[in-house]
Amino acid sequence: MHPILRVHSAGEEQGLLSVFPPFHLPPSVSAGTGFAKVNILSTSPGKVVCEMKVEEQHTNRMGTLHGGLTATLVDVVSTVALMNTESGKPGVSVDMNITYLSPAKIGEEILIAAHILKQGKTLAFASVDLTNKTTGKLVAQGRHTKHLGS
């Protein structure tokens, strides 16, 4: 397994952004955007579970989690799950879709759980569920296909 992720002991948190070298992050995912507040809760090969508290900076005009940020979470967390496989390759996006099912409001905590459905020589397929941590209600579900190179 590629050694990029480890679960810290109680009281310690590993921010999601700490997994990436700074030059791999677009400005929309930088620490200044609040993305640094996404914390990794657990990992296993091809799986990652993170959490994030929805804050005002994460919302749209209606005060709910912005769809663009939701798509970015699907992209980044599924990439971390892919990097947490034996190959350790992040790949490049080929296709991504998100189904928005319910709103997440300011102050609510969401869980972002990504797992690799299948990984071949050139393509990998991931699924990501965003759920309300308190109610268990599904907020959004994403699928992400990545090309791994030759």
Answer yes or no: CATH 3.10.129.10 is held by domain 33-147. Answer: yes
Answer yes or no: are the C-beta atoms of 125 and 143 closer than 8 Å. Answer: yes
pTM of the model: 0.82
The pLDDT-based confidence of 3 (bands split at 50, 70, 90) is: very low
Sketch the domain layout of the chain as residue ranges: 33-147
Strand order in the sheet with 138-147: 14-15, 39-44, 47-53, 109-119, 123-132, 138-147, 92-100
Which residues on neighbouring strands pair with residue 113, listed in sequence order? Answer: 49, 129
Q: List, for residues 20-50, the tens digit of each pLDDT value.
A: 554 455 555 555 555 667 888 999 999 999 9
Catalogue the E-assigned strands of 1-150: 14-15, 39-44, 47-53, 92-100, 109-119, 123-132, 138-147
Q: List, for residues 111-148, the tens digit of each pLDDT value.
A: 999 999 999 999 999 999 999 999 999 999 999 999 99
Q: Per-residue pLDDT for 150 more than 90? A: no
